[in-house]
Amino acid sequence: MTGYMTRNQTIFRYAASVAMALVLSTQVMFAAPMKGELVVAVAQEPQDLAAQGAYKEVNAPGLRNVVETLIAQDPVSGNLQGVLATSWKRVDSRTVRVTIREGVVFHDGSRMDAAAVANSINWVWSLKNAFTIQEFAGSGEITARVIDSSVVEVSSSEPDPLLEFRLSLNGISSSKQLADNPAEHFSKPVGTGPYTFGEWQIGQYWTANYNADWWGLSSDDAYGTIKPDWTSLKFVFRSEDSARVAMVQSGEAQIAMFPSSDECDRAKKTDGYSCITGPSTTYLYGRLDHSLHADERLKDPRIREAIFKAIDIAGLVDLVGLASVPPGQLGPKGTVGYNPDVTAYDYDPEGAIALIAKAKADGVDVDGIKIEVVGRSSTPRIRPTVEAIGAMLNSVGIKTEIKVQTPQEFNPRVRIAGYANEPGRQMMQVHVKGNPSNDYGLLLQSNYACPSIDDPTGSSRSSVYCNEAFDAELANALKSTGEDRSAKLRKLVQTVHDRHLIVPLALLDRGYLVEDGIDFTFGSDHRFQAVYLGAAQ
């Protein structure tokens, strides 16, 4: 696990940095002066601010300042640590028993007890509600029940070795709000965090205000490295890279997310702010339609292999910047199920042309293929990326159509309910996705398990593949643990690689422009949390 301390722009490996961890531990909760409003220029407006959205940072930037989780991944050590939970233990392969922090209240004054926690977990993971967090679910349904006033038992209907990790994703929000005004849950979050929700100006920004009653101010085991350092937080939505950069340059914002590598180079020569970067578990990838409602020609293995051979992955990494060539799979070495025999797809345009010719000779209507290469506008440097992929495919004889769409247009199309409305579709989704679990089970389930048009709410709702034999092997692997799990997942990683379903394009570093005088501590999930972000000492 790696992490990043800002200021000196130093990337370090936490697992091998015991001394640094000890230094950080001495900084926990030091008193610091309040510094007014912190403005962060972010790439995307939230899809919503519901508790289920606490799992996503790019789509709901800063939400964890308001809505806390039971468990979280510590950005320094990479280990799971308690937030609203003081402890947890395994009961069996399906169940975790969680002890809840006592004396905590929600921002609306209601108690955060076991009943409220169980209610929130059941709401967030409800199959009926079908929130997007289901893409991070396992094969079973997650439910919670009260044991006593401070103990909750969380269970999956199927054995789930990742259940504790999944509990680090969902936010815990007010049961009173869910009962009295559930519609407001999506736009006016009520949590327990160090900041309370302020306002959401649609299309502009959302804000949060310092919570003087936050439980962590009087607790000796609160998460974070500092006390909240700002009286308020403001997340301003700017999808254009240049607009976010300009806000820091002009002093309108203290932090801007995802500058280009050129802007990071420029920051080295500029006073007043610097560029900080750190590794992430986030990949840019091309997901090529295959299953259920895609054009039948895209199931031809020669066509698929030709498309992947036509893509110059190393060239795209240089274009994207702040990235490296991924090892042909959506996870770095160390991920459970990582397959060392799988490598990046070869760039071989001549081989691609030969494969297309063979398919055409066998009667495949290659001339009728026209791949829609589509990206989401909030993805950094997406337009030049999809344009480059289009040019590469065109050069080997595959026609393309290039589109960059807003999240409101793009997101529904990449789910089974969306592409069921487009029969015969020919599309490559150029998108980003992280895997903070460090386990291939999560990504294999969400990207490759067969989606059901009759139930477009499950964990595989965004899958582009459908194969009964694969699903059976995956279901068996997801119930396994230890080396048995690793071996089964390695085999499946090889399978999806050989079938040319998803092309990993870049393993992304995450970069930020940060005003001088601010320290920003983040882990591989790159969250904006005020308790890890304060004045430089």
- The answer to whether 312 and 389 are in contact (CB under 8 A) is no
Report the CATH number that the domain containing residue 335 is assigned in CATH.
Answer: 3.10.105.10
Whether the per-residue pLDDT at 16 is higher than 60: the answer is: no
Please tell me which residue, 307 or 47, carries the higher pLDDT value: 307
Predicted confidence at residue 2, as pLDDT, reads 29
**CB count in 10 Å sphere of residue 111:** 16
Indicate if 292 and 352 belong to the same structural domain: yes
CB 104 within 8 A of CB 222: no
183 within 8 A of 170, measured Cβ to Cβ = no
Asked whether the predicted pLDDT for residue 453 surpasses 80, the reply is: no
* Distance of alpha carbon 251 from alpha carbon 249, whole angstroms: 6
Is the Cβ–Cβ distance between 256 and 247 less than 8 Å?
yes
Query: Are the CB atoms for 130 and 141 separated by under 8 Å?
Result: no
Question: Mean pLDDT across the chain, nearest whole number?
Answer: 90
Tokens standing for residue 464: 């582009």
In the predicted model, is pLDDT for residue 3 greater than 90?
no
Shared domain check, 340 and 260 = no
Element (H, E) at 434: strand 427-434
Q: Note the pLDDT tens digit of each residue in 69-86.
A: 999 999 888 899 999 999
Q: What is the mean pLDDT of residues 192-208?
A: 98
Does residue 7 carry a pLDDT above 80? no
Statement to judge: residues 252 and 371 lie in one domain: no
Order of strands across the sheet that contains 2-5: 10-13, 2-5, 518-522, 533-535
Domain range for 376: 280-509
**% of the chain surpassing 70 pLDDT:** 93
Place of tokens 């080295």: 268
Confidence tier at 441 by pLDDT (50, 70, 90): very high
- What is the per-residue pLDDT for 24? 36
Question: What's the angle, vertex CA 176, arms to CA 170 and CA 177, rounded to 5?
Answer: 70
pLDDT of 194 > 90? The answer is yes
In angstroms, the first-to-last Cα distance of the chain is 25
Q: What is the β-pairing status of strands 232-237 and 427-434?
A: unpaired
At 425 the pLDDT is: 93
- Considering the domain architecture, whether residues 149 and 176 belong to the same structural domain is answered as yes
Cα pseudo-dihedral 350, 353, 354, 357, rounded to 10: -160
Q: What is the pLDDT of residue 68?
A: 98
Q: Look at the chain and report how many structural domains it folds into.
A: 2
User: Residue 514: is its pLDDT beyond 90?
Assistant: yes
Query: Looking at 7-16, 56-65, 70-79, 305-314, which range is the least confident one?
Result: 7-16
**How many residues are listed for the chain in this entry?**
537
For the cut 60, the answer to whether the pLDDT of residue 54 exceeds it is yes
Tell me phi and psi for residue 520, to 5 degrees: -130, 110
Please indicate, yes or no, whether residues 474 and 408 belong to a single structural domain of this protein.
yes
Q: How far is CA 374 from CA 284, 380, 388, 451, 519, in A?
A: 13, 14, 12, 21, 36
Tell me: pLDDT of 287 over 80: yes
226 and 298 assigned to the same domain: no
Task: Note the pLDDT of residue 420.
Answer: 78
pTM of the model: 0.85
Radius of gyration in angstroms for the set of CA atoms belonging to the chain, rounded to a whole number:
23
Contact 343/330 with Cβ under 8 angstroms? Answer: no
Q: Is the pLDDT of residue 290 over 60?
A: yes
C-alpha span between 501 and 375 (Å, rounded): 17
Give the whole-angstrom CA distance, residue 303 versus residue 313: 18
The pLDDT of 488-497, averaged and rounded, is: 97
Q: For 321-372, what is each residue's pLDDT tens digit?
A: 999 999 999 988 889 999 999 999 999 999 999 999 999 999 999 999 999 9
Q: Do 208 and 352 share a domain, yes or no?
A: no
Query: CB count, 10 Å around CB of 194?
Result: 26
**Do residue 175 and residue 314 come from a single domain?**
no
Name the token pair of 97: 């028993």
Tokens standing for 381? 């440097």
Question: Which pLDDT score is estimated for 14?
Answer: 28
Find the mean pLDDT for residues 443-450.
Answer: 91
73 three-class SS: strand
Q: Are 260 and 301 in a shared domain? A: no
Has residue 25 got a pLDDT over 50? no
Nearest in space to 496 (alpha carbons), one of 450, 431, 434: 450
Looking at the structure, do residues 298 and 260 belong to the same domain, yes or no?
A: no
State whether 450 and 421 are in the same domain. yes
Bigger pLDDT: 65 or 10?
65
Q: What are the tens digits of pLDDT across the range 231-247?
A: 999 999 999 999 999 99
List strands edge to edge, sheet with 151-156: 85-92, 95-100, 151-156, 142-148
CA 67 – CA 90 distance, rounded (Å): 25
Q: Which residues of 7-25 are buried (b: 16+ CB within 10 A; e: fewer)?
A: bebeeeebeebeebeeebe
Strand, coil or helix: 132: helix
- Work out the pLDDT band at 537, boundaries 50, 70, 90: low
| Percent of the chain whose predicted confidence (pLDDT) is above 90 | 76
**Over the stretch 408-434, which tens digit does the pLDDT of each residue have?**
899 889 888 787 788 899 999 999 988
Query: Is a pLDDT exceeding 60 seen at residue 406?
Result: yes
Please determine, for residue 17, whether its predicted confidence score (pLDDT) is greater than 50: no
Give the mean pLDDT of 440-456.
86
Q: Which pLDDT score is estimated for 4?
A: 34
| Whether residues 350 and 256 fall in one domain | no
- CB 327, CB 343: distance < 8 Å: yes
